[in-house]
Structure 1
Amino acid sequence: MRKLLLLFLIVNCFVLKAQNNQYLYDEAFTTLSEMLEEKRPLNFKKAVFTVENAYLDGLLDTISLNDQINFLKKLSIKIRENSKLEYQEKDSLIVKKYASLFAVIKDSLFMVNQKGKEFIHLPFNYDFEDVFGHQDWSKMFVSKLLSSHIGNCHSIPYLYKIVAQEIGVTANLALAPNHIYIKHRSVKNGWYNTELTSGIFPIDAWIMASGYVHLDAIRNGVYMKALTEKESIALCLVDLAQGYQKAEIYDLDFVIKCANKALEYFPNYVNAMILKTEAKGKKIENILSSYNTDFRSVRKYPKTHAIFKEIEKELAIIHKLGYRQMPEEMYLDWLVSLKKEKQKYANKKINTFNTKTN
């Protein structure tokens, strides 16, 4: 009797947890959707932490996170007030904010607090272990980055954009194969790239050097495009769906709903398209499994055949947009190449971003 009661309690605990998680994910979807639909203000920081909170079962400490972000904001302001910038154009104040923010994220800074105590602010570095979050999805999170000071090409650009918002400037996210970076615009230099994994300003040729950027992908805004605020929120919707897949409450319709909403506001967002086709493929597998058969029978049943035709059509669109899948090991080699060949890929025009403390 005791064993049966214990089993009942365990099962009931899992059911309640799943229901609570589903509520958190539904609530997060509503929050992001209402931002996109302009029913509430666009707020990238809130969008990011809403996604992370859903995955962390509602336990994200946003008070502590906001305190840490506020510290980075104040640090950026202090650097700006005590530094000189070799840039004299009419947007020099904005560019100086970019420079101070870059220093906060990528430089070691020797500081003295109000009590006269010296301390070092360490840079946020790249974590080469489990860079895609296969083993630990929270490695993709800004909250994890803030607590550990190591992150990846997902969390570091996200944090940069969040702090930029706090100091009153725009930081546009941009996409490359398996990668996110920052694009800024200045009067003197036009659009330029800020690469936070290696801490340099690479020319566009570096993106092309990956070997997986088709010209059609650039023309169609798949890669190298400065994303709008709504397109950045669309990225968060796919993050939400991916985190949902990692959790053990797997409703394929929810994943597809997230992808569809993201595509409403970022129609050529390939990651959302791929997410959607993979979810549909899993749907086919589940239906065929219920018939005690496998994928070889996909055309045999009207329901699975119809879904399969949708997938074929969507994959053709993805290919036409210029998307080519980049193997993970090649991605890492490509990232490392930027550090090894800095002189080859560094934008020589961006030589005014070195701040000198007074």
Structure 2
Amino acid sequence: MKQSLILLLILIPLCQSLSAQYDDRYENSFNTLHEMLLDSSKYDFKKAVFSVENAYSESILDTISLNKKIAFLKELSQRLIESRTLKYKGKDKEVVAKYAALFSVLNDSIPIQDSEGNIYSYVPYSYDFDDPFGHEEWNNMFVSKLLKTGKGNCHSLPYLYKILAEELNVEAHLALAPNHIYIKHKNEKDGWYNTELTSGIFPIDAWLMASGYIHTDAIRNGVFMKALGDKESIALCLVDLAQAYQREEFYDVDFVIKCANTALEYYPNYVNAMILKTEAKGKKMENFLLRKNTDFKDVNNYPETRELLAEVQNELTKIYELGYRQMPEEMYLNWLVSLKEEREKYSNQDINTFNATN
């Protein structure tokens, strides 16, 4: 036991030193996101997303190249808006035309003519079923990876859509489902409708409910299917930041809790932030007991861990009462595929009136 304690006393300062190497990058990103929450005039979703990805990428993210690619997608969207007429006739036609163009840019093959008159086909983005949850490589969740490879997931695709929408000066609301992010829009003719980037379809709410993991309490409490505002979207980025930080070899649990608490301040029922917080507190208990050269069997023997355990139990109860139910990853992927296999069943046919007439 004496040797274990000596080893622990050596390792703790070493871990703290290595953790400090990461702190500046993540703290800078946190400050960027927090400023956007404190001052709406500083809101910039693209900047928020890339600040998180840059922190994880050891501050060498090539934002110049990424911004050029975004500028190209913006220009392509503008060309589509100018070159076609939509069937949609509402008073908000100009806004809807931008939504339709963005949808095409992310989902459709588009003929493009270069400066020399050559025509080639623009290849749209596709869903990457290889490591869609970022278990092997966390940067598989990134917009930067999507822009570089043309393949993304339900995290990076809606993030890119929202970035491009804001480049075109229109709103795009992120919305959550179990393990999933999609886009919600509202127009004069159809009201609220869903835009699904992983399969290129406008699904009805019945598809979301078909997952079997969306409790009515979760909808009522804004856990799932809520059109998120700008500050709530930044709250998502704060959790992204904390999850990226947790992938470092050594990390400060208190920073993770700070990210979660700040996210919850602006999105009180953001369950992912709550789960992140409870997991971080669990790690904090584990670290404390390790320093005492014991384990979880003695969690109630110390005031510090006893208090943390009570907090975690209360928070888990709240998560359940909000209507959250965890969806197994394999079941999620099957649910995602069902949208393509049963396209006619779950597609909102009214939204097809956005298609171009020429």
TM-score by length of 1: 0.94
Partner of 2:325: helix, strand, or coil? coil
| Residues 248/330 of structure 1: CA separation in 2 closer, same or farther (3 Å cut) | same
Superposed CA deviations along residues 323-355 of structure 1, whole A, max 9, x for unmatched, are: 000010110010001110011100111121222
Trace 1:218-233 onto structure 2 (pairs within 5 A): 218-233=219-234
Q: Which residue of 2 aligns with 1:119?
A: 120
Aligned 8 A contact 2:206 2:346 in 1: yes
Where does residue 276 of structure 2 map in the other structure? Answer: 275
Residue aligned with 2:186, SS? strand
Q: Show CA shifts across 1:197-230 (max 9, x none).
A: 0000000011100000000000000000000000
- Residue 90 of structure 2 is matched in structure 1 by 89
CA distance in 1, matches of 2:18, 2:197: 37
8 Å Cα contact 2:18-2:250 kept in structure 1: no
1:62 aligns with: 63
The 10-residue stretch of structure 1 (191-200 or 112-121) with the greater mean CA deviation from structure 2: 112-121
Matched, 1:353 2:331: no
Report the Cα distance in structure 1 between the residues aligned to 2:312 and 2:179, rounded to whole angstroms.
22
Q: Which residue of 2 aligns with 1:295?
A: 296
Q: Given residue 281 of structure 2, which amino acid in structure 1 is its aligned partner?
A: K
Asked if structure 2 preserves the Cα contact closer than 8 Å seen for 1:184 and 1:191, the reply is: yes
Are residues 18 and 277 of structure 1, via their aligned partners in 2, closer, same or farther at CA, if it must alter by over 3 Å? Answer: closer
Contact kept, 8 Å, 1:22 with 1:249, in 2: the verdict is: no
Answer whether contact 2:177 2:225 (CA < 8 A) is retained: yes
Q: 2: distance between equivalents of 1:128 and 1:333? A: 11
Report runs of 4+ in structure 1 exceeding 6 Å deviation.
14-17
Give the whole-Å Cα distance in 1 for the aligned partners of 2:245 and 2:236: 14
Q: 1:106·1:196 contact (CA, 8 Å) conserved in 2?
A: yes
- Residues 100, 355 of structure 1: 8 Å contact kept: no
Q: Does 1:137 align with 2:138?
A: yes
- 1:25 equivalent in structure 2: 26
Q: How does 1:1-358 map to 2 (within 5 A)?
A: 18-38=19-39, 41-356=42-357, 358=358
Stretch deviating more after TM superposition (192-201 or 36-45): 36-45
Matches of 1:190 and 1:296 in 2, distance apart?
Answer: 54
Equivalent pair of 1:145/1:155 in contact (CA under 8 Å): yes
Paired residue secondary structure (1:299): helix
Structure 2 residue runs of 5 or longer lacking an equivalent are 1-14
Q: C-alpha separation between the residues in 2 aligned to 1:17 and 1:68?
A: 35
Counting matched residue pairs gives 345
Q: For 1:25 and 1:200, how far apart are their aligned partners in 2?
A: 36
TM superposition shift of 1:15:
8.8
> 1:19: Cα distance to partner?
3.8
The 8 Å contact of residues 183 and 226 in structure 1, kept in 2 or not, is answered as: yes
CA RMSD in angstroms comes to 1.5
Query: Percent identity, aligned pairs only?
Result: 62
Amino acid at match of 1:323: Y
Tell me the SS of whatever aligns to 2:351.
coil
Deviation at 1:22, TM superposition (A): 1.2
